[in-house]
C-alpha cells in the first residue's frame, strides 16, 4: 500500500513539473512590456508595501487592545 502511494505521489510530481516550467515562460515578457518598461512596477511595489505595513500595524494595535482587555478580565 505504501509503495503505491509513494509511486503515485512521484508520478504526480513529475507530471506537474512541465506545467510549472511552461507557466513561467510567459510571465517575464508580459511584465517587461507593461510594468518594467513603463516604470509602473515601482508604484505597484510601493502600494503593496504600504498596504501590508498598514495591515501589520492594524494587527499589532488590535493585539495590544486584546491584551489589555484580557488583563482587565483577569483582574
Answer yes or no: are the C-beta atoms of 44 and 35 closer than 8 Å. yes
Q: pLDDT at position 60, please?
A: 95
Q: Enumerate the domain spans of the chain.
A: 1-38, 40-75
Q: pLDDT at position 17, please?
A: 67
Q: pLDDT at position 69, please?
A: 95
Q: Is 39 helix (H, G, I), strand (E, B) or coil?
A: coil
d(CA 2, CA 12): 15
CB-side exposure of 65: number of CA atoms within 13 Å? 6
Q: pLDDT at position 41, please?
A: 82
Q: What is the pTM of this model?
A: 0.52
Whether residue 65 has pLDDT greater than 90: yes
Q: pLDDT at position 42, please?
A: 85
Amino acid at each position: 500500500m505504501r509503495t503505491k502511494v509513494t509511486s503515485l505521489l512521484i508520478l504526480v510530481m513529475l507530471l506537474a513539473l512541465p506545467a510549472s516550467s511552461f507557466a513561467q515562460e510567459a510571465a517575464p515578457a508580459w511584465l517587461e512590456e507593461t510594468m518594467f518598461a513603463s516604470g509602473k512596477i515601482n508604484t505597484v511595489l510601493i502600494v503593496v508595501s504600504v498596504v501590508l505595513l498598514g495591515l501589520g500595524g492594524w494587527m499589532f494595535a488590535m493585539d495590544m487592545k486584546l491584551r489589555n482587555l484580557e488583563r482587565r478580565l483577569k483582574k
